[in-house]
Amino acid sequence: MTYTLPKLDYGYDALEPVIDKETMQIHHTKHHQAYVDKLNAALGNEAQDSLEEVLLTNVTSAVQNNGGGHFNHSFFWKILAPGGSGKPNADLMALINKCFGSYEKFVEEFTNTALTRFGSGWAWLSLDKSTGQLEIYSMVNQDHPKLNTHVPLLGLDVWEHAYYLKYQNRRPEYVKAFFSIINWDRVNHLFTEASSWVGKGSS
Ligand code: MN3
């Protein structure tokens, strides 16, 4: 058994004009596929049931880089939807307001985090499993979003390969446009699931 590239729930051109078809195609079939292939090679083609468990126990750089790449991209495709979908539900909005002051402040902090990630990496919105609070932070390269202590709810790939064909050096335009294609229905689902784990240990 090996890890495989997950199919997308939408076509490569479905996120236009925010993310162009060519970027999606290359990102999914080349970049993501390469992480999957190298992860399989690093694990001797022995996939484990839980990729999260692998990331938390196998600290070799090949597994962290490529397993992180596989986890992060698999997560990313799911929290995107053509034209965006839904909005934060009442519980999530209440926590956003509590943790950041307002939805606008949340967008501002997430945007700043995505823009100040130097070089390659990701911006994340996660739920801290011990405190039940939302946190925004960035991780470098393909490091996973602190899966030992946090449950990721939203993630944005700010590697240049995610936006360069369309936006070139204009990362701010890409980050701003991202907010119009968020699959909030999916984020709400992740949040509801994550909320039930708060305070129940770190695993
Ligand atoms: Mn990427």
| Cα 94 to averaged position of ligand 1 atoms, centre (Å) | 31
Long-range contacts of 8-17 (CB under 8 A, 24+ apart): 8/77, 9/77, 9/78, 9/81, 10/80, 10/81, 10/82, 14/82, 15/80, 15/82, 15/181
Assess contact for 158 and 55: CB atoms under 8 A.
no
Distance from the CA of 3 to the center of ligand 1, in angstroms?
Answer: 17
How far apart are the CA of 27 and the centre of ligand 1, in A?
6
Among 101, 103, 118, which residue's Cα sits nearest to residue 159?
118
CA of residue 11 to ligand 1 center, whole Å: 17
CA of 55 from ligand 1 middle (Å) equals 18
CA of residue 199 to ligand 1 center, whole Å: 32
pTM greater than 0.85: yes
* Element holding 151 (H helix, E strand): strand 150-157
SS3 call for 110: helix
Separation of 141 CA from ligand 1 center, angstroms?
9
Residue-level pLDDT, tens digit, the chain, 203 residues: 799 999 999 999 999 999 999 999 999 999 999 999 999 999 998 878 799 999 999 999 999 999 999 999 999 999 999 999 999 999 999 999 999 999 999 999 999 999 999 999 999 999 999 999 999 999 999 999 999 999 999 999 999 999 999 999 999 999 999 999 999 999 999 999 998 877 765 44
Give the H or E element holding residue 129: none
Helix runs in 27-60, H state only: 33-42, 51-57
For residue 31, report the distance from its CA to the centre of ligand 1, in Å: 6
Ligand 1 centre distance from Cα of residue 91 (Å): 30
